[in-house]
Structure 1
């Protein structure tokens, strides 16, 4: 590696999903020279295939259920919103046990308190990046709708929503008539709904990440293609080979989503990272049928979202190895149920999309330094909320890396909590 051949920067950011691109932008705004590296284009992995929600209302993390009947339905693959790969179960059982323990009421309340500063800033930080990138017209501040098929589950939702009043959230309870006024093309299968008003949405999350990445490059950043597994530490510098030649930086950020665990292990860090795989497929609709908001059918376990390509049907959780062959059984099971509530047309894609959500059992991401290496930083494991928390994560990590006051205490997200 010669000086003439080597491209140098202050920071190397590995991963061009929403987390990595946001980190790169925030470091750039604070005067750091940054090189962003990914094997693919920006926003083409996990960041592409989500429901487009910037979920300001998810103040309580998605914990494991405590009810025995629901646990049994999940365990025997009798629920549309959760599916297990049985061959994977022995390997993931310790993670599931820890996740279940962390979901106990007191621990879940602590997790909610720790995550609250990030969630509360989520829409604000997206608006700031969108404004800078000229992408603000992509933002839809109309919330999303949580629908219910029975009076019993709707009443339970009312109780749960009212319990969140200390968080200052805005929402509206919709009976069948009011739901029909807001979504005229939904059938009367849903008895009622909760309209969460604080969240924002985007119609193409992958395109939003690309817009952020294009702004990063336009402001002088470099985006190169390379393999993160080839990260090396030489002469107190971090280096990696790319298609455009070797690059070197004083600091490196690992923001590789579901691939972060492999890099952590190669560097001697043990992180209990599990994958919750998810699927989506787009549908055409009749010319006169439209959907104004993302709608979750809670009882049936799926979400419909109006997207640029059509109506996106997204599934819940599949516990399976990241690289195992796709098994879109959840899509196949929920499509008939989705057609009960909305007039879907034909599928647009011949093959459904699949991606992996990187999740940690305590429902907090890792944001902070690698305590065994100088100049090593991490940002991954956002537990379903990567799109939501990308910009706010970028801000917090950039504040930490540049030694400026952080807007919130970062200690709950430290890697050291896993030893």
Structure 2
């Protein structure tokens, strides 16, 4: 029996998370024919369970001085904000070395400036896309409240806020007697806080992502369920082979497959040092507590977010790759802390979850063309800022596909920087 001829398509977007969704939406708006490919569905994996934040003020690279100083203390606690399974450490060592080097003053300043420029674009790109897609009612503009236990923890945060001053980010430090007005019911262990009025959240990240996809569909985007096993350039086109047996022939390919993206880039001859921040959370029923806005417990590495679908308690980082089984003791540890910090919190009936955040050592994503393949584009590696930066990424990939100049300098986000 003769083998079926490959299906010919214009643009294949590999990955149905929020970054791929925004890429598809922007290209579909430009009247391009877009086919989304994902193994499970639209916004069903990591993008479904994030903390729902549009964190436009979160411009500090993870390798900033304050975090590096805390790493030894955190690693001593297997259920703390940062964990590395001992068996994974040898494989992780080269990435950790790059991460350490990213904290040098010169590299830090370059990453900070690049992140600030991307965040400025991200905010305008999201506001525009929400207006055009009719999803603005899903946006909550309540700000965030970052909480500190003790003077030392507050003082350690000041260098980061000073860095934000240079980019015009608005915030207000609160004394202990002002905190209750922003979030009643907190324990009295918090001596100071910082309110960030420009911080935003969405009503539920999974519902929000699906709503953006519905808009992309209304502009002509289509979906194919499949697990991409091979990306093979062939002249001016690229073969996309699905593990299920189907073959697509695409004129343009966008790799937006999150924590799996570097495996596809490796097929193209590019070694990109992507690691996986495995994030955990528990989503409690909506009546668990009256949360006024996203609460950030920076010293403990987690947040609490009010959603339309419940109260989400999650965060922390486990650098453990994509194959190890989840350790839901980490979810339970955060939930226990949340109960201490909000004594009235009802912790029954929660749903535990783990997702994979694609992370690069300098905290900047990869956005741009593949080396040597002008019609293959990268859009991945956003770490814990995928939702925040996805609309900006989508707009820039659109510009590259249409041979326009992107809105900001893309050289800091090039895959070739490594």
TM-score tier (shorter): over 0.9
The gaps in structure 1 that reach 5 residues or longer are: none
> Partners in 2 of 1:125 and 1:167 — Cα distance?
18
> Partners in 1 of 2:370 and 2:57 — Cα distance?
31
> Partners in 2 of 1:69 and 1:254 — Cα distance?
35
Match of 1:39 in 2: 39
Moved more, 71-80 or 24-33: 71-80
Q: How many residues align?
A: 416
Match of 1:368 in 2: 368
| Deviations 1:236-263, CA, capped at 9 Å, x for gaps | 4223356795432211011000010111
Q: Shift of the alpha carbon at 1:32?
A: 1.6
Q: Shift of the alpha carbon at 1:67?
A: 7.6
TM-score, length basis structure 1: 0.92
The gaps in structure 2 that reach 5 residues or longer are: none
Match of 1:126 in 2: 126
Distance 1:68 1:266, change over 3 A: closer
| Deviations 1:346-400, CA, capped at 9 Å, x for gaps | 34345x2111111111222111111222411111111221111000011111111
8 Å CA contact 2:12, 2:252 repeated in 1: yes
8 Å CA contact 1:64, 1:100 repeated in 2: no
Match of 1:142 in 2: 142
Distance 1:382 1:332, change over 3 A: same
> Partners in 2 of 1:54 and 1:331 — Cα distance?
22
Match of 1:249 in 2: 250
Counterpart check, 1:215 vs 2:195: no
| Deviations 1:302-329, CA, capped at 9 Å, x for gaps | 2111112221110310011212100123
> Partners in 1 of 2:262 and 2:121 — Cα distance?
27
TM-score, length basis structure 2: 0.93
> Partners in 2 of 1:187 and 1:371 — Cα distance?
53
Q: Shift of the alpha carbon at 1:175?
A: 1.9
Q: Give runs of aligned pairs for residues 305-316 of structure 1, distance below 5 A.
A: 305-316=305-316
Match of 1:304 in 2: 304
Q: Shift of the alpha carbon at 1:409?
A: 1.2
8 Å CA contact 2:79, 2:333 repeated in 1: no
Match of 1:185 in 2: 185
> Partners in 2 of 1:67 and 1:6 — Cα distance?
49
Could you say what secondary structure the match of 2:296 adopts? strand
Match of 2:262 in 1: 261
8 Å CA contact 1:52, 1:387 repeated in 2: yes
> Partners in 2 of 1:148 and 1:68 — Cα distance?
18
Moved more, 107-116 or 329-338: 329-338
Match of 2:166 in 1: 166
> Partners in 2 of 1:405 and 1:3 — Cα distance?
41
Aligned alpha-carbon RMSD (Å)? 2.4
Q: Give runs of aligned pairs for residues 45-194 of structure 1, distance below 5 A.
A: 45-63=45-63, 65=65, 70-77=70-77, 80-158=80-158, 160-194=160-194
> Partners in 2 of 1:3 and 1:175 — Cα distance?
70
> Partners in 2 of 1:68 and 1:4 — Cα distance?
54
Q: Shift of the alpha carbon at 1:340?
A: 1.5
Could you say what secondary structure the match of 2:277 adopts? strand
8 Å CA contact 1:5, 1:245 repeated in 2: no
Distance 1:117 1:228, change over 3 A: same
8 Å CA contact 1:16, 1:42 repeated in 2: yes
Moved more, 263-272 or 90-99: 263-272
| Deviations 1:62-113, CA, capped at 9 Å, x for gaps | 2155688623213433672111111000110111011011112221111111
> Partners in 2 of 1:4 and 1:271 — Cα distance?
34
